[in-house]
Chains A and B, each alone.
Chain A
Amino acid sequence: MAAEEMEDLASRYADRAVRSAFIYTREAHPGENYRHHTSMDDKRANARAFQEHSGIKRQILLDDLDGTAHHTYGQVPNMTWIIGRGGFILYKAAWTGARDVESGLLQALDFQENRVQNKWLPFYSERAAFSYRDMSKFKEGLERAGPQAVSDFAGPSAQQRTAAETDPEAIPSVPGNFFKPGTD
């Protein structure tokens, strides 16, 4: 997760009427040290550990134990949304890449601040986004969660990578990347 980068983003845009929050979901990679939640107390404890470890100053909001908010918004592990005043969805991303989020945020602020004078009418569009994956930090995170988190991730991921090398129909190695090699 790009927690530190998102903290920096939140801090830089706080004086531009941007309210930043982190919604705490289920554990994506539970392990012996940070287990899956069986109660809201479990969730609170893990969320506080996250807040302290990652220096989170943003408001942390806990989803309920059933993951109602998480499910409502698409249930992927680390998504980011930008929502305009009044509830208009301006940005939706399957993963959190701070650089792409900032690009979306600048556009959102431009729209909010200038739409009346420019007579802008919003419309739907889609685009691909990209970010750098720091695999060493990700592995540190798995190790911090516990040995089970490491082994749970290693097995299926290795299989996917091997399969993707030989089978065009195999699951892509980057979840949320729908591109498949063509035959033409």
Chain B
Amino acid sequence: MKDQSYNYSTFSPHPKEFEDFAKDAPKATERAPSVPLEDLDTGAMVAMKDLWKTDVALIEFGSFT
């Protein structure tokens, strides 16, 4: 089921997200989880772990806004 609140239409600050990031997100020295992603240019599905299969992966998350 889609979480409508994830794609909010109105921005409001969520400072607790940063606390959760520090405490609950994966930590340095842990194994990075892999998630399927869509390549924008080709439309192909990519497993996130392919990014670090042979190289060091430098991954930025973000959006246009």
**Which residues from chain A sit less than 8 Å from chain B, CB to CB?**
1, 3, 6, 9-10, 13, 16-31, 34-38, 40, 44, 46-51, 53-54, 58-92, 94, 96, 101, 105, 108-109, 112, 122-125, 141-142, 144-145, 148-149, 152-153, 156-157, 160, 171-172, 175-176, 178
Pairwise interchain contact A47-B9, C-beta atoms closer than 8 A = no
Binding site for A on B (CB under 8 A): 2-3, 6-15, 17-22, 24-41, 46, 48-49, 51-65
Complex CA distance for A124 and B11, rounded to whole angstroms: 34
* B40 x A62 contact (CB < 8 A): yes
Task: Tell me whether A78 and B60 are in contact (CB under 8 A).
Answer: yes
Query: Judging by beta carbons under 8 Å apart, are A17 and B55 in contact?
Result: yes
A61 in complex: contacting residue of B18, B28, B31, B46, CB < 8 Å: B46
Docked pose: A22 CA to B10 CA in angstroms: 24
Q: How far is the CB of B52 from chain A (nearest CB, A)?
A: 5
9 inter-chain pairs at a CB distance below 8 angstroms, sorted by A residue, are A34-B64, A76-B61, A88-B32, A91-B28, A105-B56, A152-B11, A172-B15, A178-B19, A178-B22
How far apart sit A183 and B26, CA to CA, in the bound complex (Å)? 33
In the bound complex, what is the Cα–Cα distance between A159 and B9 (angstroms)? Answer: 20
In the bound complex, residues from chain B placing their C-beta under 8 Å from that of A23 are 37, 59-62
B7 touches A26 (CB 8 A): yes
Contact (Cβ within 8 A) A37 B62 = no
B19 close to A76 (CB less than 8 A):
no
Determine the chain A residues whose CB is within 8 A of the CB of B2 once the complex forms.
65-66
**Chain B residues within an 8 Å CB radius of A152:** 10-12
* B55 close to A19 (CB less than 8 A): yes
Neighbour of B58 across the interface among A21, A24, A86, CB < 8 A: A21
**In the complex, which residues of chain B have a beta carbon less than 8 angstroms from the beta carbon of A36?**
7-9
Give the complex CA separation of A108 and B52 in angstroms.
Answer: 13
